[in-house]
Chain A
Amino acid sequence: MLNLLGEQLLNGIVTGSVYAIVAVGMTMTFGVLRVINFAHGEYFMVGTFASWFVIEKIDLGYPQSVVFAVALTALLAIVVGYFLMRKMVGAPFENGVLATLGVSLILQNLAVALFGGSYKFFNGGYIEPVELFGYGLAQQRILIVIVCVLVFIGLDLMVTYSRMGKSMRAVSQNIECCEIVGIDVQSVVLWTFVIGASLAGLSGVLTAPVNVSVYGGMGELITFKTLPIIIMGGLGNVRGTFIAAMILGIAESFVAGFIGLQFRDSVGFVTLSLMLMWRPHGLFSLQSRF
């Protein structure tokens, strides 16, 4: 029993890391833009598809596919960010919801239209298992956790000490004052969005060997899991998002292991709905800002 518990815990940490990398991008985008990016999961999907494409059709190795996938996701994010997301600054939030919903529909169905709707098999990554605390764990999963920790440390340092990070914090607090002080809000918004989307793509590439199946609609599920995380963690709150992601990952793992696999995907929104009804300001803040 303890063995099973430990195994579920480890699985939960890995899952949580995957979600955390994706969620931090969405929450940073919300912080500067006040827009819930419904298309965020699609960048995860784009990362996965790009690396699958590189491995299957161009016949490169896994590390090269990671670089390619993240670069492609970043490029896509630059295009979408330049033409769409920058216009969301100061617009009513319904615009953001609808526009990102539109982008998500277009990206999802483009993937299906270009590559077909069937599930594809991802054929790369470091999936040989390794012994850890007495459990066998695929190397890729450990890699995911390590990358997650590195990403969060890096982001924390960037947001606290770097000029870009300080600009991001400033934009998320008060856009008008930023413009007065001379911060290029459009540029900050664009780069925050690109960083966030690229992180989602990175998560997609890293998770692909573990998930194994690749299909056009996978982004929607990721979006539906990331939304509860960012709200529970507090919109715009990077550290809170990390903890909320871990909690969701572990909770999903326990539900799948002890209650039933079919309930796994519902854990996110059920927890979110319960939390919104009783504690609308998120788990980590004292008042509701959004």
Chain B
Amino acid sequence: MSQLQETQQTWRSGFRLPAIILMAAFVLFAPAFVGSYSLHAVVIAMIFLLPALGLNLLVGYTGLLSLAQGAFFGVGAYASALLSIHFNTPFYINVVSAGLISGALALPLGIPALRLRATSFVMCTLGFIVIGQAISKNWISLTRGDMGLSSVPKPYFALGPWSFSVVSTAAYYYLALAVASLAILAFYLIVRSPAGRNMIAIRENETLAEAVGIPTWTYKLIVFVLSAVFAGVGGSLYVHYLTVVSPLTFQMYYTTTILIIVLGGGVGTISGVVFGSILFVALSEVLRVAPEIRMIAYGICLLLIVFKFPKGFAPVIDKVWLALGGQRA
């Protein structure tokens, strides 16, 4: 055996595997020992994780700051609600359709928007939210305007002879966990693929990427559509959990939350966004004392992110992971 192979084989594993097993156990059995309000907070955190992953793909991996996640979140929510109210479709159809409809909407919106330079692009995406809210308020025959759609049915699954409804918070926790895990897996696959490396190239230096032969515009459009799909799926989960949707879903609050999750958690990382989601959303749900204080805290968070912690949480997670890691014997 060569010396290199020898070194690789004498490796004492650190605490990473036990830590992962512990976290997995905690995640899987959480409803057994976590209070119902905290469970609710974690469900909301997992729901917001989806548009956050989409934004992460845009900002963290392709370098496009977009404020439109809130718009596609709302579109997905309304689409899912309307489908289940009018056609009584099972959940998997709702959630997939919501994602597809959001993505399909993103295509004609993204094509002209992506031609713009950075500042105008941000404005244009902000416009999508405003227009989305205006449409949901005024297309009364479809959306019932400001009254919104209530009594959206809880998710139900119909597979042959079985059909069951997801009603309790604990059951919804597992549903959200499943969807969020699938989303994280999808995100991981996208980002680790050669396509993902191309996206990073576009983020780092778009001109150089173009010069090397990466079709930057096509990539940007695909990423824009994909992030809208993520956001739409998140919106669908959200509306079935809350059972109501209204033009308020298009408020700036949702976009701001998603921004803080991604930027505060660690833009461009996966674990950062997951932790950011739990931290910001779950904590803020638990601390739902006064909405104004929460928003002021958000504002202060944004300022801290800009001036003190531009990489968000990610460095802290990295340090912990490194500390848990193994050493060569």
Contacts of B203 in A (CB 8 A): none
- Do most interface residues of chain B lie in helix, strand or loop, or is the interface mixed? helix
- Do most interface residues of chain A lie in helix, strand or loop, or is the interface mixed? helix
Task: Tell me the complex Cα distance, A105–B296, Å.
Answer: 6
> With an 8 A cutoff between CB atoms, is B137 at the interface?
yes
Mask of A24-62 contacts with B, CB within 8 angstroms, 1/0: 000000000010100000000000000000000000000
Q: Of B82-90, B108-116, B178-186, which binds chain A?
A: B108-116
> With an 8 A cutoff between CB atoms, is A161 at the interface?
no
> With an 8 A cutoff between CB atoms, is A157 at the interface?
no
User: Could you tell me how many residues of chain B have their Cβ less than 8 Å away from some Cβ of chain A?
Assistant: 39
> With an 8 A cutoff between CB atoms, is A101 at the interface?
yes
B116, B128, B130: most-surrounded residue (chain A CB, <10 A): B130
Q: Of A9-17, A71-79, A188-196, A269-277, which binds chain B?
A: A269-277
Contacts of A94 in B (CB 8 A): 65
Task: Tell me the complex Cα distance, A258–B189, Å.
Answer: 53
- Residue contact A105 to B299, C-beta cutoff 8 Å: yes
Mask of B288-318 contacts with A, CB within 8 angstroms, 1/0: 0011110110111111011100000000000
Contact of B127 among A34, A102, A105, A269 (CB under 8 A): A269
> With an 8 A cutoff between CB atoms, is A288 at the interface?
yes
Interface residue range, chain A: 35 or more
Task: Tell me the complex Cα distance, A31–B4, Å.
Answer: 59
CB distance from A149 to the nearest CB of B (A): 28
Contacts of A277 in B (CB 8 A): 112-113, 124
CB distance from B277 to the nearest CB of A (A): 18
> Across the two chains, which residue of chain A brings its CB closest to B253?
A105
> With an 8 A cutoff between CB atoms, is A173 at the interface?
no
CB distance from B300 to the nearest CB of A (A): 7
Contacts of B298 in A (CB 8 A): 102, 105
- Residue contact A93 to B292, C-beta cutoff 8 Å: no
Contact of A97 among B65, B120, B137 (CB under 8 A): B65
A-B contact pairs, 5 of them (CB 8 A): A97-B122, A265-B134, A272-B123, A273-B124, A276-B120
Interface residues of A, Cβ cutoff 8 Å to B:
34, 36, 84, 87, 93-95, 97-99, 101-106, 108-110, 112-113, 117, 220, 224, 227-228, 231, 235, 262-263, 265-266, 269-270, 272-273, 276-278, 280, 288, 290
